[in-house]
Chain A
Amino acid sequence: MFKPLAGILLTLAASLALPAGPSALRAEPEAPLVIADPRGDRGLLAPFAHRRDGMGYIYTGFLFDTLVEKDETGAFVPGLALHWQASGAGLVYDIDLDPSARWQDGQPLTAQDVAFTVDYLRRHRHGFVSVEAIGEAVTLDEARLRLTLTRPDAGFVGEVLAGMPVLPAHVYRDIEDPQRFASLEAATGSGPYRLATFDKAQGRYRLEAVAGHRAGPPRFSTVVITRLAPEAAALALIRGEADIVPNLMPAKAAEVTAAGKLVIETSSGHPVRLLFNHRNPVLAPLAVRRALAHALDRQALADIAYQGHAQVAEAGYFQKGSRWLRDGGLPGYAFDPQQAERLLTEAGWTRDAAGNWQTEGAPDTLRLVVGEDMRRLAVTLADQFARFGLKVALSVLEQGALQDRLASDEFDLALASTSTLGDPNGIGRRIVGDDWRHDRFPGDQDLRDLLRRQSEALDADERQRILWQFEDLYLAQLPSLMLVDPVWMTGHSPRVVPVMPADGVAIGIPSPLHRSLFYRPGAL
């Protein structure tokens, strides 16, 4: 009696319940390289339009060449520039361009394009690269130009020559608002891939290899970047539907390897730090910050909060993965409650009848604010403080509320994770700058002098020595306390070998999606 209805439902079910699997994906003769990105849409892959995060910058870097590149070890190798030569006490850079370089629309790439890019970035802020150090960009001929700096800059090659996406002057010349220039034309670069399609709603990009790229054709004729939820991304890798899953869920690692796929683990270069509110007089005395450092068992924090997927952070500023990290690191603040007690007592703190620490003129509870992603670490940390007799009021906040609390100084302690990779020129911004994300440490003149001197030290050995002096001071003055360095996992198929170079990709992005996935930079 219900045959018509049942028939309709059965037909519908049969037509929709097709077996799902990799067959459709692998139907092409040469399978594309598929990157399943749990975060998805990074915006249009153009230098001013991509989302202001590291992965958006990396994906855009597949389309836009830079003058200098990093190889798999992190060494600087030729990109669009075959040679670059510094002279005049580091104030003059002569650059010889690769004459075979072409834009993806077939136009030749010339020195005028580079000079135009410098000028354009001066007029239009680029989120990740500043050309403030360049006083003048003069073209010498079609393939040569001279950049004159206003001051010596030890990070110039790493930050500008290897970080600045070179723009096509013929495309961008008349664009007054590049943030709103979001057609596919805006993604015309000189890199090994061109943007064939971008489906914004689905967070999906299809990149096609540029046949005439100066370094030869890349390994894969097509690269697809697509948004998939973390669990779905891991399963797609297991089933052979995806080749690379950045930020693989640690819980899925065993399943992935059991399926014959590979997992690489890298230090994040994004250590979690305990931030102190330096505007709060209670935390201003160095002895108090040191006492808090000694009260924490950082190994237990890593073991409990990350369940083996983190290591104790290096005590100094530089972390594993940084070329500036000294052998053996620095001895940090060991877990030593007695020492913590001595220091707090010296600072005038006393214990109340219940054994909790208190000090005159201050609330007896410290406010700890953290983002949702650090809930577990924060709970573990608050528990350790409580055992030591420090009462902590923990607030786990969504990003906007967290920003509000940090910017308005409504906190005593906070947890933050920011990159320690890239050129050391960024350190000053992170320690003594006024950005709510960072330490906002007043810093004494010695610290500021060291930060300035390292940025001007053109000799690598000298710069290294200055940076180590800075690290000693950083450890002694405790602008913030390095706690743990999480391990990041990337799942991949045997078709590719993701590599994270020293100091991260390009400007210091901790990701193994280095261009060596496609071709060997500098191998011309």
Chain B
Amino acid sequence: MAAGFPSRAGRMVLDRALALLLVVALGFLLPRFMPGDPVELQRASDLDLGLAAAQRETLRQEMGLGGSLGEQFLTYCAALLSGDLGFSVAHAAPVSQVVAGALAWTSLLVLLAFPIYLLIGPWLGIESGLAPERPLGRGLLVGLSALGSVPPYAVSILLLWLLAVAVPLFPLGGAEALLPPADPLVRIAGVLHHAALPALALATHEIVRFFFLSRGATLALSLRPFVINARARGIAGWRLRVTYLARSLAPVLAGRLGDTLAGQFSVVLFVEIVFSYPGIGLVIHEAIRARDLALLQGAVICLAAAILVLNALLDGLAGRLARRG
């Protein structure tokens, strides 16, 4: 087993590297097949006086669109290997700077959503699985089935209306107060206050997923001898749920986390639009609209790299938990 570990780790790294390479290629190619001239679409207003031919060509070069497709790809890869993600003409800033600023906010949402769905989903699933025929178990099943059928965009709007408009407990949007306070602790509290509702919206669908996963597993575990014995010995409540059920569920849940995180970064696009949250979703959305190819490529690659790294870590964790039993 000890001898197998390096090769397993090596394969994992190789798989992820190949996946990243594929993302780089797709991230480079796909935007170039979108209709429209990226140079022309930089001119966001008809007041713009237009470009002379030479200026147009210069801008085309700056946007990485000079030469053949193959030359463009080689230039892009060479720059990428030297750590240069390119320059966003629309933002007048290096892509790395724009992406880093946005990715930080998205990461905060994803991190805050993480404990919400990881605690609430399995907790409710275990409750429903332990008492599938009782009102609580059935009520949870019906309620969460209904919640799962609502698209993330609609959930975000519903939460915004309910908790920021009808009952204004949370801010309407943005990542922090218009005039952030000087006290760092107060400022952090303000940032969390702003992130709470988008994080809840982001977590909602995963709560449902983890609920069903945990409910099904609990139903199966309830028939296993070690759980039957434990219940016969009078073990119940917190101990039964945590020591016997949740621990057994851990590898299954960890195995699903990799997929969940990738999904979170997709759903976050809708959440960020609804809550005007300044994350990577909004950046990608605007980059597509403005045909900001450099930014689009950079954002997709950074996002993919982040997901692949997290995925690898979670895969490793799931494997360890499974081997531990």
Contact = CB atoms under 8 A, between A and B. Distances in A.
Interface of A: 1-2, 4-5, 8-9, 15-21, 24-25, 27-28, 32, 34, 40-41, 43-44, 46, 48-54, 56-57, 125, 127-130, 179-180, 182, 199-204, 206, 224, 226-229, 231-232, 235-236, 239, 241, 398-405, 407, 418-419, 422, 426, 429-430, 433, 435-438, 507-509
Interface string B69-110: 000000000000000000101111100011001101100000
B170 A200 contact: no
Interface string B264-281: 000000000111101100
Interface stretch (B139-147, B190-198, B212-220, B249-257): B190-198
Contact of B273 (A8, A229, A418): A229
Contacts of B34: 400
Given A403-B37, A419-B46, A430-B46, A241 B178 contact: yes
A426 B46 CA distance: 10
Contacts of B176: 202
B36 A435 contact: no
Interface string B180-202: 01000000011011001000000
Given A25-B179, A34-B178, A202-B278, A403 B41 contact: yes
28 contacts: A9-B119, A16-B196, A20-B164, A24-B179, A28-B179, A49-B92, A50-B92, A52-B43, A56-B44, A127-B43, A127-B47, A127-B48, A128-B49, A179-B62, A224-B178, A228-B172, A228-B276, A229-B273, A232-B276, A239-B168, A399-B36, A399-B289, A400-B35, A401-B35, A403-B35, A403-B37, A404-B35, A437-B46
B193 A125 contact: no
Interface of B is mostly: loop
Of A4, A18, A239, A405, most buried by chain B (CB within 10 Å of CB) is: A18
A1 B105 CA distance: 36
Contact of B193 (A18, A32, A401): A18
Which 4 residue pairs across A and B have the least CB separation, nearest first?
A400-B36, A201-B101, A49-B92, A418-B46
B164 to A, nearest CB: 7
A24 B41 contact: no
Contact of B92 (A54, A130, A180, A204): A180
A202 B238 contact: no
Given A18-B189, A180-B87, A404-B37, A229 B177 contact: no
Interface string B285-321: 0100101000000000000000000000000000000
Contact of A182 (B93, B164, B179, B196): B93
B190 A19 contact: no
Contacts of B45: 52-54
